[in-house]
Structure 1
Amino acid sequence: MATPCTGCDEMPKGDKLVLRGLKFHGYHGVRPEERTRGQKFVVDVDAWMDLRTSGKSDQLSDTLSYSDIYRIVKAVVEGSPHDLLESVAEHISSTTLSKYPQINAVRVRVGKPHIAVQGPVDYLGVEIIRYRGIDI
């Protein structure tokens, strides 16, 4: 079966805003204790957009503030519970693309650092990439 977008399985190229290690307490998961006690979530976001104008002008008005994306992530992770991390990541990506038309693609990684598995891990989670014109 052909993919709906030639090259969509490749990583986007070009300029991007990078947000790493955003930590929030949320109530996502399918287990009852995840919904009652909650847990820490770690989120990374890459938002691809053209940064040439702001690079030349050195003006915040020519770009998007990191804090705008941070607020979206915070609202989603600390907001209404989702059963799956896939749903948390999808909500972050769709809100980001809907709210900021200058963003061409977004990658969202959501991890649970405190998960009951046998062996040491930094976190377990999901990563999605969504593209303007394909996913929104």
Structure 2
Amino acid sequence: MLENIKLFGFHGCMPEEKYIGSHYTINIEIEFDFYQASINDDLSKTINYVDLYDIVKKEMNINSKLIEHLARRIIQKIKDYKRPLVKYTKIKICKENPPLQGNVERVCVVLEGD
């Protein structure tokens, strides 16, 4: 699990979101058979969290209107990274201080994939 990844991105439907951008917090949970890695102490038998972070960072740099779309792309890239060993992925993406007509700390989406 990667928790509280903090990145900046330009996602949203409003024109100003494409220019001003927002801060985002991302959490990723992955179900994976870690048995071989735990026995062999071998990085190739597990999911390298540096690679996961790089996937998230790369996808955050591709603008989307919807964070739901961004979440789906990240899940797909994670599945492609260690197919078929990744059994389940859950991602939560939160836009901090969204441009709303009120005091809202964040808006979040949670998406799951298997």
Larger Rg: 1
Q: TM-score, normalised by structure 2?
A: 0.90
- In terms of fraction of residues, the more helix-rich structure is 2
Task: Tell me what 1:124 maps to.
Answer: 107
Aligned pair 1:41/2:24, yes or no? yes
Instruction: Decide which of 38, 54, 58 is 1:55's aligned counterpart.
Output: 38
Task: Tell me what 2:56 maps to.
Answer: 73
Task: Tell me what 2:80 maps to.
Answer: 98
Provide Cα deviations, 1:89-125, integer angstroms capped at 9, x if missing partner: 000001111221121111011101112353453x211
Identity of aligned residues (%): 23
State the secondary structure of the residue aligned to 1:30: coil
Higher relative contact order (CA 8 A, sep 6+): 2
Provide Cα deviations, 1:30-69, integer angstroms capped at 9, x if missing partner: 0111101111111111111001111122221221210111
In the alignment, structure 1 segments of 5+ residues that lack a partner are 1-17, 132-136
RMSD: 1.3
- How many residues were matched structurally? 112
**Preserved CA contact (<8 Å) 1:53 1:62:** yes
Runs (4+) of structure 1 exceeding 2 A deviation are 116-121
In the alignment, structure 2 segments of 5+ residues that lack a partner are none
Give the Cα–Cα distance (whole angstroms) in 2 for the partners of residues 96 and 77 of structure 1: 14
